[in-house]
Amino acid sequence: MANLSVVKGDLTKMHVDAIVNAANESLLGGGGVDGAIHRAAGPELLAECRTLNGCKTGEAKITKGYKLPARHVIHTVGPVWHGGNSNEETLLYKAYYNSLQLAMQHHIATIAFPNISTGVYHFPKQLAAETALKAVEDFCTNHPDPIKEITFVCFDDENYNIYHDLINIPE
């Protein structure tokens, strides 16, 4: 079973097989963690993204990591929060689950996630964390072997505290 951990910090600094990008459907960059990933990876990342023809919400696509310490970037698109009656939870669940599925297909053993949709897409942080953990736990139950280490990289204290409490890490 994969080891789950939570850290506070910058996703672009993670030395893992793949980091996950909280992108938009164009896959052509943006602000937040997406902007930080493109800045750190360099312009070749955008060039590869242009060949992918975008990505639907809840789905995922993979590129190389270029100048990042991570070998790959898995680009997924979380939902914009519209109040909770627009399938947001299912779409966020799918964004995490499909990212892990794609990672498995590419023999990725270590992967780090940001808190998808909790920035400019305004998904409530507690519900987002519960949904992310449910997707990760379901994936690991269905596929116990291939992925060894899953890290949630939180940028802000609020998300870090939520994940810390949910994952129940001893002090």
Q: Which residues are known catalytic residues?
A: 34
- Distance (Å) of CA 28 to CA 35, 104, 155, 161: 10, 24, 22, 31
CB of 146 to ligand AR6, least distance (A): 24
Q: Is the dihedral of CA 117, 123, 125, 131 positive or negative?
A: negative
H/E element, 157: helix 157-167
127 is a contact residue toward ligand AR6 (CB under 6 A) = no
For tokens 């898995």, the residue is 74
124 is a contact residue toward ligand AR6 (CB under 6 A) = no
Interface residue with ligand AR6, options 1, 3, 10, 69 (CB under 6 A): 10
88 is a contact residue toward ligand AR6 (CB under 6 A) = no
CB of 136 to ligand AR6, least distance (A): 16
Residue 171 burial by Cβ neighbours in a 10 Å radius (0-12, 13-18, 19+): exposed
44 is a contact residue toward ligand AR6 (CB under 6 A) = no
114 is a contact residue toward ligand AR6 (CB under 6 A) = yes
Q: Interface with ligand AR6 by CB under 6 A: which residues?
A: 10-12, 22-24, 30-34, 36, 78, 114-121, 153, 155-156, 159
